[in-house]
Amino acid sequence: MRVIQAFRFELDPSREARIALAKHVGAARFAYNWGLARCLEAKERGERIPSAVDLHKDWNKWKRENAPWWVEVSKCAPQEAFRDLERAVRNWREDRANFPRFKRKKALADNKARLTGHIRVTPRHVLASARSAPRSGRINSWSSFSPRRPASSRRPSPERRIAGS
C-alpha cells in the first residue's frame, strides 16, 4: 500500500524576498501578455497560433534587446507563463473557454506564477523552516506539521477571518 502525505506551507518572506517574488510574478504576467499579443497577431493574419516552445524561442531573441531587467528573475517565469497561455489557447480551441485575455496587475487572479526548478527545503529548527527558490533566495515559512508558531508572528488563519472568530 502506498501512502501519500501532503503538507501546507505558509511563506513568511522578508522585505527583499517579497520584492523578488513580486518581480517574478510581474515578469510572468509580462511574458504571458507578450505571448498573447503574438498569438493575437497570428490569429488575425490567419496563421498558426504559436506554441509555448515557439513563443519561448522568440522570447529569448526579443528579451536580449528589449528587456534588460530579465536577469533579475528566474527563467521559469516565462516558461510557465507560455505553458499557461498554450493551455488557455487549447481550451479555447476545444470550446471549453473563451479566447485568453490579457492579465492585469490589479486583478488578484492574474497575479500568480509558479516556481519550478530547484526549490530547496532546509529545516531551521522544529517550528520553522526556510525555502530557497530560484532567484528569490531564502524565504522563511511555516508548515502544517509545525506544532505552533511564535506568538509574535501569529496571524488569524483565513478560515478564522472568514468565520469571524
Taking only the tens place, the pLDDT of each residue in 55-103 is 999 999 999 899 888 888 888 889 999 999 999 999 999 999 999 999 9
CB atoms within 10 A of CB 101: 11
Instruction: Write the pLDDT tens digit of every residue in 7-51.
Output: 666 777 788 888 888 888 899 999 999 999 999 999 999 999 999
CA–CA distance, 160 with 35 (Å, rounded to integer): 40
Among 116, 119, 115, 114, smallest CA distance to 129 is for 119
Last residue of a domain, one of 90, 110, 130: 110
Residues 39 and 57 in one domain: yes
Residues 120 and 151 in one domain: yes
CA–CA distance, 92 with 102 (Å, rounded to integer): 14
CA–CA distance, 136 with 139 (Å, rounded to integer): 8
Quote the cell numbers at residue 128: 520553522
* Residue 89, pLDDT score: 96
Last residue of a domain, one of 69, 84, 110: 110
State which H helix or E strand residue 86 sits in. Answer: helix 76-93
Residues 126 and 67 in one domain: no
* Residue 161, pLDDT score: 40
Tell me the pLDDT band of 129, cut-offs 50, 70 and 90. very low
Higher-pLDDT residue of 124 and 44 is 44
* Residue 40, pLDDT score: 96
Q: Which domain holds residue 157?
A: 116-163
Q: Which pTM value belongs to this model?
A: 0.71
